[in-house]
Structure 1
C-alpha cells in the first residue's frame, strides 16, 4: 500500500489547494495546501514563489492551519530547507498558526522513502504556540532537543524511521502532548528502530497527558504488542494504534492475555495478519477494535513473509 491521496482535512478544517491568483479567501473556514503541481511548474513558478505569494497575503496572520505539499525536488533535502527557511522568516506574520503539515506528498509525486526532510527544531522554537506538527518522510529528519509548552499532536510518517529520531522524541519535553503517532517502517528503507527504542514511550512517565499512542506501520508489531501488554502506558492512554504493521496472532494473544486491555476505548489494528479465529476473539472485547484490511502472508522461497503497509 502506498499513500495515494492528499489530506482532506487538517487542523479540524477541510483542505483546499491554495490558488495564488485568488489568494486567501477563507482564513477561518479552510486549511490551504500549497503544492507545486504540473500546471504551476509549466508557468515557471517555483515552490518558493508560491509560498511567498501565500505569506504576502494580508490575511495570512489569521490562518490557523497550513499544509505544505510537494515542493521542488521533494526527494532532495535541499528543497525542504528553503521551505523551512521561508516559514522561519515569516514567523512574525504567521501569528495564528497552530497546525502544520510538512510533506503532504503522494506516491506519484515522491515515494515516502525518498522524501527529504531536515532539522525542524527551529520551527518548534519559532512557533511556540504550535499545537500540531505532522511530518511525512524521514530522510535527514531531526527534531533536535525538543522543549515545547503547547504541542498537543506529533505525527511522524515514514517508510523507515531512524532510531535517532525516536530517541529525540523520547527525550522531548512536551507537557501538553496528547497524540503521538510514529510510523516506524522497515529496515529496507532506513528504519533501524528496535523495541528498546520505543520502550521508554510505554512507561507512562514521559508525556503525562498522552491519550493516543500510535506505533504504526511497524515490521516488529508483535514485539510492540507484547511490550504494551506488560507496560504501564495502558493505565494512561485511551487509544492504542498498532495499525499498518505486521501484527500476527502471536502479538494479538499477548494483548488478549492482558486484563487491563478493556480499560482502553479503542484498539486500532487495521491492516494486520491475524487469523479469522483471532479476529473473532478480539471482537468480543469490551472496547472498539478496528480489524479492517486483513492480510495474508506472502510465501516466497519456502518462507512466509509479512510486510508493513507503507515502505517504498
Structure 2
C-alpha cells in the first residue's frame, strides 16, 4: 500500500533509527533528528526493555524534539512503550512531536496496529505540538482540551467512530492541521457525518487551516456536508482523498458554498467521471485553487455485493 510506509521526515526533522541490536556509535545530535525506536520484525535475544534502556542512557532526552515509536515493547514489569514514554515526562522536557505505530504493511496490517487511550499522553506532555498515530484498534481520544497541539493525524484503515467523535468534540485552540483516515466499517470504522458534527460546525478549533477527511467509504456524504459546513470558510486546504468520492459528492461540493478561498483541494483516489473532472478544473483552477484529481479509480463488479452493483474501494483498508 503506497500510503503506508515508514516516515522519513517528521516534525521537519530527518528520521534516525536508534540501533536495535548493537551498542550505538556515532549518534547524531539529540535535537537534530526525529528518533525512531523500532525493534524490527524479527525476534532478538535482547529483552525489548533493554532497547529502551540503552536509548534513554545514550541520548540526552531533554534535547529530543521528536520521537517515533514503531513496534511496541514491554519491560519486565509489564509496562509498554507508551507507559515508558509517559513515565519519563520529567526528562523529555523538549519533546514536541510523537508518532505512534510507524509500521509498514509487511510488519503489521494497519487495522491490527493496537493503539490505546491517548488522554494520558497528552496530559503528560502539555507542550506537545504534533501527534500522529497509525492504526485504530483500541484508539480513544477522551481529551477535553489541549492548548498547544497544532497537528493531529490519524492514519487508519478503520478509525473507531467513538474516537472520531471525541476528536471532533475536543477543544484544541492551537490546532492548525487535522487529518483523519476514517477507513472501512469492516475494519473498525463506520464514522458518520453526525459523529463529526462539532468539527463541521467549526467548534473548538479556531486555528484550523487544513482539514483532511480521507480514506472514507462515505466520501459523497462528507462532501455534501462540507458544502455548507462553517468550518470550510476558515480553511486554506481541504482533502477528501483516498476515498470513494463520486459525481454526486463532487456536484454537491461545487454547488455549495464558495471554495475560491482555498489554496488546495485534494480529491485524489476518486471515482469521478470525465465530465465532472473537467467541471471541477474549469470552475476552480481559474480561481487559483490547486486541484489534485490524480489516481482515478474504476468501479468494480463484485459478485458478493447485493444485486451485483459495482463497488468502490478506499485506498487503505487491508
Interval containing the TM-score (normalised by the shorter chain): over 0.9
Question: Which whole-Å deviations, capped at 9, do the CAs of 1:127-148 have from their partners, x for residues lacking one?
Answer: 1100001011111111223321
Q: Which residue matches 2:187?
A: 189
TM-score by length of 2: 0.90
* 1:117 counterpart SS class: coil
- Count of aligned pairs between the two proteins: 304
Question: What is the CA distance between 1:210 and its match in structure 2?
Answer: 0.3
Structure-2 change in CA distance of 1:4 and 1:212 (3 Å)? closer
CA drift at 1:57? 2.6
**Whole-angstrom CA distance in 1 between matches of 2:132 and 2:7:** 11
Q: Runs in 1 of length 4+ with deviation above 3 angstroms?
A: 1-4
Corresponding residue for residue 35 of structure 1: 38
Contact 2:34/2:66 (CA < 8 Å) preserved in 1? yes
TM-score (norm 1): 0.92
User: In 2, distance between residues paired with 1:102 and 1:234?
Assistant: 29
- Decide whether the 8 Å contact of 2:226 with 2:232 is kept in 1: yes
How far did residue 48 of structure 1 move?
A: 2.6
In structure 2, the gaps of 5 or more residues are none
- Deviation of the 1:53 alpha carbon: 1.8
Whether contact under 8 Å (1:35, 1:47) holds in the other structure is no
Bigger mean CA offset, 255-264 vs 227-236: 255-264
* Range that drifts further, 5-14 or 17-26: 17-26
Q: Name the CA distance, whole Å, in 2 between partners of 1:101 and 1:179.
A: 15
Question: 1:278: Cα distance to partner?
Answer: 1.6
Compute the displacement of 1:38 (Å): 4.4
Per the alignment, residue 304 of structure 1 pairs with 310
What is the Cα deviation at residue 256 of structure 1? 1.6
1:17 correspondence with 2:17: yes
Between 1:296-305 and 1:100-109, the stretch displaced more is 296-305
How do 1:264-283 and structure 2 match up within 5 A?
A: 264-283=262-281
Aligned-pair RMSD on alpha carbons? 1.8
Structure 1 residue 225: deviation in Å? 0.3
